[in-house]
Structure 1
Amino acid sequence: MKRNQDGITLIGFVITLAVVGFAAYIGMKLFPMYQEYYSLKMAAKGLAEEPGSASMDPSRLQDLLFRRLDINYSDSIKPADVTFKRIDTGWNMHVQYEVRRPMVGNLDVVGRFELSQDITRGGGGEG
């Protein structure tokens, strides 16, 4: 009785390794973009929960936001990406920005991010 071994061949292993490596490479390009967006969300939430933030001037709110972002080394968000709109109980902060990172050769990874945060007297809620 002859027994055959089943398993992966060397070519199959190399192909699998290439696919996993490419997926890891893309993940390394995307992770910092989403980490920065998460930092923005936490900074906006912290700003909304800060006492007296609903009665502050938009320029002061923007300054406080960017101070929080500087702590997290966020450099993709620019002051022109942040707008404030007056609402009944305070302000609505809207942030819209784009991140472009080179991937391979002339191919880029582009991420478009948008966040809206209400800064109100009763505490902030995402809008």
Structure 2
Amino acid sequence: MNRKQGGMTLTSFLVVLAVVGFALYVGMKLFPMYQEFYAVKTSMKALAKEPGSSDPNKAQEMFFKRMDMNYSDSVKRENIKFDRIEGGVRMVVKYEVRRPLVGNLDIVGNFENSQDLTGGGF
């Protein structure tokens, strides 16, 4: 009875290892970008519950205090816009994060979130 061995050759194993390694490398570049965006969204939701947050200057100050606690540095003051709405303001944060990948290739993330601030609080 002749048995034929099955499985991966060394070359195919190295190819699979390279693909998985590259995917992990890209994931390590993307994860901090999305973690920071999650911090932005969480800060904006918490800000909506703060009393007096319907004042754009106060809201911006409170927002950046929260972002400093999260060690976030991608969002700048020019990335924040306020639009008047019924009973308060709508805060819109739109920013771009660019991280080098390999050589002259970059990973670019465009993030945008909005939150209505009506001075919530108790």
TM class by shorter chain equals over 0.9
Q: TM-score, normalised by structure 1?
A: 0.91
Q: Which runs of 5+ in 1 are unaligned?
A: none
In structure 2, the partner of 1:46 is 46
Q: Measure, in 1, the Cα distance between the counterparts of 2:6 and 2:92.
A: 57
CA 49–122 in structure 1, closer or farther in 2 if over 3 Å, else same:
closer
SS at match of 2:8: coil
Spell out structure 1 runs of 4+ moving beyond 6 A: none
The correspondence of residues 80-95 of structure 1 with structure 2, limited to 5 A, is: 80-95=78-93
For CA contacts below 8 A with separation 6 or more, give which structure has more relative contact order.
2
1:10 aligns with 2:10: yes
- Percent identity, please: 60
Conservation of the 8 A alpha-carbon contact between 2:92 and 2:112: yes
CA distance in 2, matches of 1:76, 1:44: 15
Q: 2-side partners of 1:58 and 1:122: how far apart? A: 14
The CA RMSD measured in Å over matched residues stands at 1.2
User: Which secondary structure state, in structure 1, belongs to the residue aligned with residue 99 of structure 2?
Assistant: strand
Shift of 1:122: 5.2
Provide the residue aligned with 1:108 in structure 2.
106
| Cα distance per residue 1:51-89 (max 9 Å; x no partner) | 3323xx211110100000111111000000001111111
Measured against aligned partners, the alpha-carbon deviations of 1:75-114 in whole angstroms (never above 9, x if no partner) come to: 0000000011111111100011000100000111111011
